[in-house]
Each structure stands twice: as structure tokens, then as C-alpha cells.
Amino acid sequence: MSAIIVWIARWIVVEDGVKFIIGLHDEFKKYNPFNANVGKLFANGRFLRKTSSYEHVPIFWFENYFTQEGVHNLACAGCEITLYLTVLYYGFILLLVQYMKDRPPYSLKTALFLWNLGLAIFSVFGAWRIGQEFFARLSTEGFTQTVCLLPNEFTPTTFWMIAFALSKIVEFGDTIFVVLRKRPLIFLHYYHHAAALIYAFHSGAHVSATGVVFALMNYAVHVLMYSYYAISALGIRLPKPLAMTITTLQTVQMFAAVGITIYAYYLKAFTDTFCQVYFSNLHLAFFIYVTFAALFLRFFYGTYVEKKKVKQQ
């Protein structure tokens, strides 16, 4: 492994690796499928498409910091970067796994508790601020408009959406804890982290209203998940049905996202209903959430059904 790393480093620095990488980057920028080609969406800082009329008053000063145009521009700039971050993430984790191969696991009890506690608290605020507006709109505007229209320009949801996208980068740290503690690193874990990051920025760049619903569901599930991890990090053994419930909610979240994606596609393709989401984003959402649903089902079966059968035998 070390010989391969040395060879790659030598090729990049000494030979034509730099020119090759620059050329590959230039070609990628030409044909990058994640670039947002959405036409003119903003004028004088205002969103030109139809939005919700509901006004959700900001509570915190920082909730006024981002506009929808600012989120769109940041996500457009970040779309390409997320792909590079994903490659770096996989490369770093691969090297870290090799580094830990012949070393004892780290405990990291306090650090793990604080990490999960921080993400749990962050998720509480995200779920609260987006959820408050979402359910108010749901009761006044109905399901279709709540799913298909972006929130009003000056609502807290705008801030918590970009915070959600950026948090997907932070959550790469989950994998570092898994590897350093030498816990099983499964495909679902590192695929989910990378795909969630890419989709979050893609949705922001394409100004997708459906992404707000997906973010709310994710925030809500993460409140329970990271709280569970934080308590477990203290050495407190929680009832197994609680872990099963969290996995069930994660799986339901994925199927709900698939259903909403299909519904939005139907509205755009077969009705005159306005829905602020692009087909390219719907295609990506469908692929990602179908694979998520399948992987979570497989994880649930392997963890709670198959193991139970083995114990009974």
C-alpha cells in the first residue's frame, strides 16, 4: 500500500501528473452534470418564481444572513467542490483504515460524546426552525403547495437549508470516529455520507423546493440518532428496540423521499401545477433515495432479523 502511495505522489510531482489532473479538471468543468443550468431565477436579489406567502419571523440574528440568491450562488460554487471532497473523503478514509490496521482502537469516549451531542443540538434547532414553518404552511396551504413552493424569501428556512448542506461536510467526521475506534465500516455508512452531501448542494444550486422537506425529515431523524449515539458514548446501554426504532425511522424517511420525488415528477410532467424543482434534481433524488431505501432495508434485515434467527438456532 505504501509503495502505491509513493508511486502516485512521485507521478503527480515529478512526472506529468499535474498537467493530467489540470486537463481532467478542465474537461470535467465542460461536461459536469452537476452544474446548475436553471436560467434566470433572480433579479435585484429577489426570486422570480412563485413562493409561499407565509411569513415565518426569524428569531436569531444569523437567520437573516442568507438570502435565497445567496444560498443558490453558494450551492452552485459548492456543487463541483462536493465531488472533489467526496474523492478526498474516500481517499483519506482508505489511508486511515490502513493506518489503524495494526494499531489498537482509540477510546475517544469524551470526544465522541461531545461530537454527537453537538450534532444532536444542531439537528434540534434545524428541525424546529424548518418544521415550525413547514407545518404552519401545511395547515394553511396544503401538501402540494408546501412541497412545491419555496418558502418566502425572508424566512429562517433559507439559513437552515444552507446550514444543512454544510453540515454534510462536517458529518464526514462520523466516519473518522468509526475508523479510529475500529468499528465496522459498512458500505451504507460511507455511501450515505457522500451521496447526501452531493444531493444537498445539487438541490441548493437547482433551488429545489422538495429539498426543504427532505432536510426537515433528516434533521428530525438526526435528533434521535445523534442523541442515541451521545448517550451510548457515555457507556449507557439503551434498549435494543430504541435502536430498531431509529433504523425504522431512517428507512421510512427514505421511502417517504422516494414517494415525494415521484409525486413532484408527476405534477411537473403530467399536470399544470407549478412545482419549483427541476427534472435533473428529481432524477438524482430518485436514484439516491431508492438506493438509500434498499441499503437501509438490507441493514435492518441483517441487524435485527437475520441475527435474531441465528441466535434462535
- DSSP letters along 272-288, please? -------HHHHHHHHHH
Is residue 36 over pLDDT 70? no
- For residue 152, the model assigns a pLDDT of 78
Helix (H) or strand (E) holding 43: strand 42-43
* Catalytically annotated residues: 192
Q: What mean pLDDT do residues 88-114 have?
A: 95
d(Cα 216, Cα 208) in Å, to the nearest integer? 14
List, in sequence order, every residue forming a beta bridge with 42; answer none if it has no partner. 47
Question: Above 60 in pLDDT, residue 38?
Answer: no
Instruction: Return d(Cα 203, Cα 76) in angstroms, integer.
Output: 9
- pLDDT band for 35, please (50, 70, 90 cuts): low
What cell numbers appear for 186 in the block? 459498512
Which band of pLDDT confidence, cut at 50, 70 and 90, is reported for residue 24?
very low
Using only C-alpha atoms, the chain has a radius of gyration, in whole angstroms, of 21
Q: What percent of the chain has pLDDT over 70?
A: 82
Task: Delimit the domains of the chain by residue range.
Answer: 66-312
Is 182's pLDDT higher than 90? yes
Pair 90, 175: CB distance under 8 Å: no
Nearest of 162, 146, 135 to residue 66 by alpha carbon: 162
Residues 80, 85, 87, 93, Cα dihedral to 10°: -170
- Please report which confidence band the pLDDT of residue 12 belongs to, taking 50, 70 and 90 as the band edges: very low
Distances (CA, A) of 227 to 234, 238, 246: 11, 11, 11
59: Cβ contacts below 8 Å, ≥ 6 apart: 129, 156
The secondary structure of residue 49, as a DSSP letter, is S
- Give pLDDT, residue 28: 47
Beta strand pairing call for 42-43 and 46-47: antiparallel
